[in-house]
Amino acid sequence: MANKKFWLGILAIALVLGMTVAGCSDGSDNNGGNNHIDKPGSTGGYNLSGTISITGTAKVGQILTANTGSLGGSGSISYQWKRGNSADAINTNITNATESNYILSSADFGKYVTVSVTRSGYDGNVSSTPIGPIADVMDWIQVDNSIFETNSVKGVAYNGTNLWIAVGERGILAYSENGESWTKVDLSGSIFAPVSTYAVNINAIAYGNNKWIAVGDRGKAATSTNGTTWTAVDSSFGTSGINCVAYSNNRWIIGGGSGYMKTSIDGGETWTSVTNPIGYNAINSVAYGNNRWVAVAANGKMATSVDGQNWTAIDVTSIFTYISGSSQTVQSIYTVAYANNQWIAAGGAGIIATSTNGQNWTGVTSGVVSIKTVAYGNNKWVAAGGLGLLGVGIVPAGIAVSMDGINWTSVANTTFDDNQINGIAFGNNKWVAVGDNSKIAYANDN
């Protein structure tokens, strides 16, 4: 009995003085510099230690990754990405940005970004060194807009070697060897001469088989081999406007008002009517790819042809129907293009449809209010447009970029302000976009 009381006394003294008793842990595990063991989810008053870093390109559309290999402790990690106007003023949590990876959006343009992490079982958090300012996905630069005065620039094209041509309202055409400095070729006094007060608008331009063809209102068309000397041709369109022109597979095709479409196999000298499968809906764009032509038009209309002469309608109305509450509106399809084994068609409400064969289409969203033009270059798609959507009013022009035609990233600063972008093209490692109010801009992409 005496021995038992003796050892009970020793145990009581040990517990009071905090001594280590054989068979018990002292709690020291050197866990990330915090000398304790904590159950996951608990907060035992020990601060999280260590460091984290961010890898990735500080550019809109790019993926950032939080690296936690040097973070102290163990247990599950929680993430919160943040942005701010400067490196020492990052105070805004980014909504739903709570994973180890974060895709930079247009809202991050010009901002600084960091990631803060917590770990179960520890108090406090650890933040990375901020990165920024975040660059835009494309850096657009406005050029001198005096060439087109205050008129809209309707289209732009590149000949594949050394020349850009832009066309616009009141018979104005301009050319450039670098997409930055432009020279005016005024056709308003001859080919696109005034019908009443103003010269006829030139709506589109294309290059193929060593020849340029420009088309416009009232059935006007002209050809050129050098971009500076132009010859009028009879498009046989009468007084209907021509909205688009395209060349491929030894054939020119033009389309325009009232669903009119014509084709030429002699360089635009003579034109032949083709079957019209889409009624009196204005044809806005025509393109060729993978042994097939595709034409798009107003009111969600689309048609396809294997020879450019005989056309079959394709029903994509459901894709190009914009739904807002109980209201449904079929949007016009303004542009179509083919590249990299993929078709892209786009139109009102920012709706985009993709296809691999030109017949079966799938709808995606772009982030641009209304898409007027789409083009491919340097392994990416670029879509652009602007203006109002279903009575919303005037909104800034939009440009979106995609690597796959399905997932799109908006450009934060288009430099077009509230002016709609009407045409875009790629050539010689450069994008050129044109729009309303004589706007022309370029973006280097090399």
In this structure, what token pair is assigned to residue 418?
């509230």
The pLDDT score that the predictor gives to residue 68 is 97
Q: Looking at the predicted structure, is the pLDDT value of residue 119 above 90?
A: yes
Q: Looking at the predicted structure, is the pLDDT value of residue 35 above 80?
A: no
The pLDDT score that the predictor gives to residue 23 is 32
141-444, which class in CATH?
mainly beta
Q: Give the model confidence (pLDDT) of 169-201 as tens digits.
A: 999 999 999 999 999 998 888 889 877 677 899
Architecture (CATH level 2) of domain 28-135: Sandwich (2.60)
What are the sequence ranges of the domains in the chain? Answer: 28-135, 141-444
Q: Give the model confidence (pLDDT) of 142-173 as tens digits.
A: 998 789 999 999 999 999 999 999 999 999 99
How many CA atoms, within 13 angstroms, populate the side-chain half-sphere of residue 335?
Answer: 29
Rounded mean pLDDT of the chain?
88
b/e burial code for range 410-438 (CB count within 10 A of at least 16 → b): bbbbbbbeebbbbbbbbbbebbbbbbbbb
- Which range is least confidently modeled, 43-47, 246-250, 330-334? 43-47
Query: What is the distance in angstroms between the CA of the first residue and the CA of the last residue of the chain?
Result: 91
Q: Give the model confidence (pLDDT) of 245-262 as tens digits.
A: 999 999 999 999 999 999
The pLDDT score that the predictor gives to residue 324 is 82
3-state secondary structure of 16: helix
As a whole number of angstroms, the distance between CA 260 and CA 385 comes to: 24
Q: For residue 395, what pLDDT band results from cuts at 50, 70 and 90?
A: low
